[in-house]
Structure 1
Amino acid sequence: MSILIAGAGIGGLTTALSLHAAGVGDVRVLESVAEIKPLGVGLNILPNAVRELAELDLLDELLEVALPTGSLGYYNRHGQLIWREPRGVAAGYRWPQLSVHRGRLQSVLADTVRRRLGPDAIVTDARVEGFVPREDGGVDVRVHHTAAGRRSETTADALIGADGIHSKVRACLYPEEGPPPWNGLVVWRGTTYAPPFLDGRSMIIAGDDRRRAVVYPMSGPDGPGGTVLMNWAVARAADPEAVFEDADWNRAVAPETFLHHFADLAFDWLDVPALIRTAREAYVYPMVDRDPLPRWTHGAVTLLGDAAHAMYPMGSNGATQSIVDARVLARELALGDSPVPALAAYEAERLPVLTRIQASARRRGPEVVIDLAHERAPGGFTDVGAVFPGDELQSISAEFARLGGFDPETVNTRASLTVPSRAGGPR
C-alpha cells in the first residue's frame, strides 16, 4: 500500500510515523517548502495526544524540548483569578500536557521520520497542486517543484491532505469554498526569554470581553535564577481599516505597533507588556478558521488536521487533534484491506467529534469564563463565588473536555490506537 501525505507539519509527520509503526511500508511526505525550518511559536499538546506520541516512543525525546504544564488559570483584566485547574498528570491523566515551541516539535518529528522511514521519506520543494482518481482505485497526484522550476506526477493508493488551513487538497475537493473566514479579531504571537512566573509551569489566560492574553513557559530555567522560553499571544478586535488578504502565520511585526493595546495587562505576578516589549520574535495574523465540511473523504483522498478542521486557538486543540487524526487514520489503513473503506472509517470516527469542537471554539470554548466574568463583574470582584455560583466553573471546563473525548477517564481507559501485531509487517 502506497500513501502520499501532503504537508510536513505536525499532523502530516505524525501520520507518517504512525503508518510506519502500523506496518505500512510505502509512505512519502510531500512538503512545499524547500527547507523545513523550526518556525512558529508555542503549542500546547493535551494528554490525549501526548499519549499517542508516547505510544510512538517519542515522549522521552519530547521531554527534552518541552515543558510539562502543571496548571491553567483564567484571570480577569485586573489580574484576579477566576478559575484554576491542574493539567496533565496533576489532573489525573497518565500522560502530561506539554508546552512546546512548534519548531522544536516539528524538528523532533521530522528527524524521527527520516531516521525510521529513510532519508528520502520527506520530499521538500514538492507542493501538491492537483490529483486525478484512477480506475484501479488509486490516485495520480500532480506536484509542483517551485524552487526547481518543474512539475511532476506520481501515483499512490491514497492521498492524505495534511497541508494546513490553506490546503490545496481541500481546495481541489471544494473549489468554491474561498479563503478562510475571519471573525474580526487579530492575534499577535511571539516568544520571549523571561524569568518564570507563578510556579514556573503555569499557563494563564487573562483579559476581558475585548482583549485576551495567553502566556505559558515552554522550557525550564537555563540555570539557577535564569530565564525560560515563554510563549505569549494577545488578541483584540481589529481596527476598522485593518485588511488581511492572506492568513500568513509567519508575518513578522514590530512589538511597538500593537503593544499599546495591552499596556494595562501588567499584574504583580506577570507583566504581559514587558514580555511583548522584549520579544525575540513577534507575528500577526487574523483569527480565522474553516467552516465544518460535510465530508473529508472522497474515494482514495482525505483530509487531516487543519486541512480538515482548522479552528480558533481555543482549548489547545489544533495540533492535539491533528495528532489524534493521524493515529486513527493509520490504524484504519493498517487494518483495512483497501484504502477507500479505511479512509471512510477514519472520517466516520473523527468528523463528528471535530465538528463539535470547531463549534465550541467559535463560542470561545472554556475561555468563555473570562467573558462571563467581565459581563457579571466588570470592575472586578472580592469573591469569585459570588460571580460564579455553585460548580458552574468546573462544569464549563468538564463539559469542554467531555465534548472532545479528552477527559481523564476517557483518555486513561480507552483502547490503544496502536495496531496489534496481527496486522502484519510492512505492506
Structure 2
Amino acid sequence: MKPLRVLIIGGGIGGLALGQALLAGGVDVQIHERNQSADDWLQGYRINIHPHGARALHDCLPTPLWQAFLATSVTPPGGISFRTERLRELMTIDRDAMTGGSDDPADGQYGVSRIVLRRLLLTGLDHVIHYGSVFDHYTVGDDGVTAHFTDGTTATGDILVGADGANSRVCAQYLPGAARVDTEAAAVAGRLPLTPATRAWLPEALTAGMMMLMPPSGRRTLFTSAFAGREQMAKAVQDGELAAAGVDIDTDLLLDGLEDYVLWGMIAHHEDFPAGLSEMDGVERRAVCTEMARGWDPVLARMIAESHPENVEMLRLKHSTLLKPWPSTTVTVLGDAVHNMPPVGGLGANAALLDAAALAEELLRGSDPVAAVAAYEKRMRDHGYAALRESVTNTRRAITPNVVSRRMGRVFFRGMKMMSRLRRRSGGSAAPADRRSPQESPAR
C-alpha cells in the first residue's frame, strides 16, 4: 500500500508539529509555506506553553528534539498572580497548581522563544517543506485533493490540512462561515528588557512569572509575563545540546537577538484608545499606555515608559465564529485557521499543538481518511472551541465597565486565595473554571 499523502498548508507552530508527527509515522508529508525562507520567522514575542500544550508537543516530537526543547525553554517559577492596580496580591496560582503537581516534563509549563521553537520544529523537514508557496484554492478529484498556488503550480494529496493562520484561505473555502469577527477590545503590547538596572526596581511579581491586573474601574486590564532565558539558552548552545539534536540554527544570530524581558499588554475597550492608534509610532503608543496607567502603582507606569518603543505594537482583538458540526471531508483545518482567539490567557498556540497531536493520532490509526478527519474534527471542536470560549470570556471580563463586577472579582480572588490555603492543608482540589460561550453559527 502506498503511504498516506498529506498536504499541510502553512509552516507555523501547528503545521510543523503535525509534520513532525506524521513524518515519524511514515506518512508522505509535504508542507507549503508562503514565506520565502525560515529566516523570515526571526521575530515575535515569546509564548507560554501550558501543560496540555507541552504534552501535545511531546507527543509530536522525536525524542532528540523534545530534549532540545527542554534544554532551551525556561520554566517560570511564579505561575500566575492576580493583583490590584497597586500590586496588592489577590490570588496566585503557583506552578504546582498549574501542572497538577506532576514531575513529568511533558506536563510542565514553559516560556518559549518562538524563533527557537520554530527552528526545532523545522529540524529534519528540509526535504518536505516548500517555501514561497502561496496557496490560492483547492479542488477535489478522483486522485485526491489538489492545492493550487498563485504561481500556477499544484500539489495533490489524500488529505489537505489548512494550518495557514488567522486569515486562512483554506478555511475560507472549506468553512466560509468561520469568518473572524471583532471583539470590542484592542491591545497595545511592549517589552521592557530585564537587566541588572531594571531588576533593581522591578518587584518580584513582575520578574517571576505572569500577572493579571484589573483596576476597580475603567474598561482596561494589564497583563505581564516575564521571560528570562538567555543564560539558559547560551548554556544549551555551549554544551552542544542543540547540535546534538541536529538543530540547524545560527546560534550566534540566535543569542544576539535573544534578550530577557517583561512582556506587558494593555487590554482595553477599543473606544478608550485614541483614534488613529494603529497609525501611531511606538513612542506615541507607549505614551498612551503610560497615561492609562496613571494612578496605579508607579512601577507599572515606569515599566511601560521605559520599554523599547520599536517593540510597542497595537492590535484589534478578533475571534473566529464558532460553528455547529459540519460534514467531514478530505480537507480539514487546525489552529488559528479555525479557532483564532484573542491572546488573553495565551491559549492559541497551545490549542494549535493539541490540534496537531490529535490529527496526527487519528491519521496514524490507519482508518479511512475521512473517518480519521471526522474523529479529529470532533476532538478539535471540543478542546479548540473550549479554548476560544475561554479567551473570549477572559477578554470580556478584561474590558467590562461594570464596577460591581470588577469589585466582586476582587472578592472572588481573595476568597479563592483563602480556599487555596485551606485546600493545601486538607489535600483538597480546586474548582473548575467558569466558561461562557459566544454565540454559535451553522457551518454552512
TM-score with structure 1 length normalisation?
Answer: 0.77
Give 2:359's aligned residue.
329
Contact conserved, 1:75 with 1:206, CA < 8 A, in 2? Answer: yes
User: 1:151 aligns to what SS in structure 2?
Assistant: coil
Q: Structure 1 residues 317 and 155 mapped into 2: Cα distance closer, same or farther (>3 Å)? A: same
Q: Structure 1 residues 317 and 385 mapped into 2: Cα distance closer, same or farther (>3 Å)? A: closer
User: 1:319 aligns to what SS in structure 2?
Assistant: helix
1:211 to 220, 237, 256: 220
RMSD across aligned positions (CA): 3.7
Contact conserved, 1:41 with 1:190, CA < 8 A, in 2? Answer: no
Structure 1 residue 306, shift from structure 2 partner: 0.8
Give 2:261's aligned residue.
229
CA distance in 1, matches of 2:332, 2:389: 21
CA distance in 2, matches of 1:288, 1:186: 9
1:31 is the counterpart of 2:33: yes
CA distance in 1, matches of 2:430, 2:280: 34
1:304 is the counterpart of 2:330: no
Structure 1 residue 286, shift from structure 2 partner: 0.3
1:79 to 68, 84, 87: 87
Q: Structure 1 residues 276 and 20 mapped into 2: Cα distance closer, same or farther (>3 Å)? A: farther
1:142 is the counterpart of 2:172: no
CA distance in 2, matches of 1:383, 1:165: 34
Structure 1 residue 212, shift from structure 2 partner: 1.6
1:150-182 alpha-carbon deviations (Å, 9 max, x no partner): 22111111100011110000111234655x211
CA distance in 2, matches of 1:261, 1:216: 21
Give 1:202's aligned residue.
209
CA distance in 1, matches of 2:156, 2:415: 63
Contact conserved, 1:74 with 1:84, CA < 8 A, in 2? Answer: yes
Structure 1 residue 65, shift from structure 2 partner: 3.6
CA distance in 2, matches of 1:392, 1:358: 30
Q: Structure 1 residues 244 and 18 mapped into 2: Cα distance closer, same or farther (>3 Å)? A: farther
CA distance in 2, matches of 1:237, 1:87: 31
User: 1:271 aligns to what SS in structure 2?
Assistant: helix
1:105 is the counterpart of 2:105: no
Q: Structure 1 residues 392 and 168 mapped into 2: Cα distance closer, same or farther (>3 Å)? A: farther
1:50 is the counterpart of 2:54: yes
User: 2:69 aligns to what SS in structure 1?
Assistant: helix
Structure 1 residue 84, shift from structure 2 partner: 0.3
Amino acid paired to 1:32? R
State the percentage of identical aligned residues: 24
Relative to its length, the structure with more helix (as a share) is 2
Contact conserved, 2:214 with 2:406, CA < 8 A, in 1? Answer: no
1:331-365 alpha-carbon deviations (Å, 9 max, x no partner): 11111233211111111222123223322222118
Amino acid paired to 1:86? D
Q: Structure 1 residues 341 and 81 mapped into 2: Cα distance closer, same or farther (>3 Å)? A: same
Q: Structure 1 residues 160 and 344 mapped into 2: Cα distance closer, same or farther (>3 Å)? A: same
1:183-210 alpha-carbon deviations (Å, 9 max, x no partner): 1211112333124541743211112362
Contact conserved, 1:259 with 1:277, CA < 8 A, in 2? Answer: no
CA distance in 2, matches of 1:383, 1:302: 41
Contact conserved, 1:76 with 1:380, CA < 8 A, in 2? Answer: no
Structure 1 residue 79, shift from structure 2 partner: 1.7
Contact conserved, 1:184 with 1:287, CA < 8 A, in 2? Answer: yes
Structure 1 residue 291, shift from structure 2 partner: 0.9
CA distance in 2, matches of 1:401, 1:34: 43
Give 1:313's aligned residue.
343
1:131 is the counterpart of 2:164: no
CA distance in 2, matches of 1:96, 1:371: 32
Structure 1 residue 107, shift from structure 2 partner: 2.6
CA distance in 2, matches of 1:383, 1:322: 31
Structure 1 residue 288, shift from structure 2 partner: 0.5
Contact conserved, 2:393 with 2:435, CA < 8 A, in 1? Answer: no
Contact conserved, 1:38 with 1:107, CA < 8 A, in 2? Answer: no
Gaps of 5+ in 2: 233-258, 437-444
Structure 1 residue 222, shift from structure 2 partner: 4.9
Is 234-243 or 313-322 further displaced after alignment? 234-243
Q: Give runs of aligned pairs for residues 357-376 of structure 1, distance below 5 A.
A: 357-364=387-394, 368=397, 375=404
Amino acid paired to 1:104? V
User: 2:204 aligns to what SS in structure 1?
Assistant: coil
1:15 is the counterpart of 2:24: no
User: 1:140 aligns to what SS in structure 2?
Assistant: strand
Amino acid paired to 2:269? A
Give 1:154's aligned residue.
155
User: 1:126 aligns to what SS in structure 2?
Assistant: coil
Give 1:414's aligned residue.
none
CA distance in 2, matches of 1:15, 1:271: 40
Contact conserved, 1:10 with 1:109, CA < 8 A, in 2? Answer: yes
Contact conserved, 1:210 with 1:236, CA < 8 A, in 2? Answer: yes
Give 2:439's aligned residue.
none
User: 1:61 aligns to what SS in structure 2?
Assistant: helix
1:190 is the counterpart of 2:153: no
CA distance in 2, matches of 1:393, 1:368: 27
User: Paired residues, what number?
Assistant: 380
CA distance in 2, matches of 1:222, 1:265: 36
Q: Structure 1 residues 397 and 289 mapped into 2: Cα distance closer, same or farther (>3 Å)? A: farther
Give 2:321's aligned residue.
291
Q: Give runs of aligned pairs for residues 336-355 of structure 1, distance below 5 A.
A: 336-355=366-385
User: 1:68 aligns to what SS in structure 2?
Assistant: coil
Q: Structure 1 residues 376 and 298 mapped into 2: Cα distance closer, same or farther (>3 Å)? A: closer
CA distance in 1, matches of 2:168, 2:43: 18
Gaps of 5+ in 1: 145-149, 246-250, 404-427
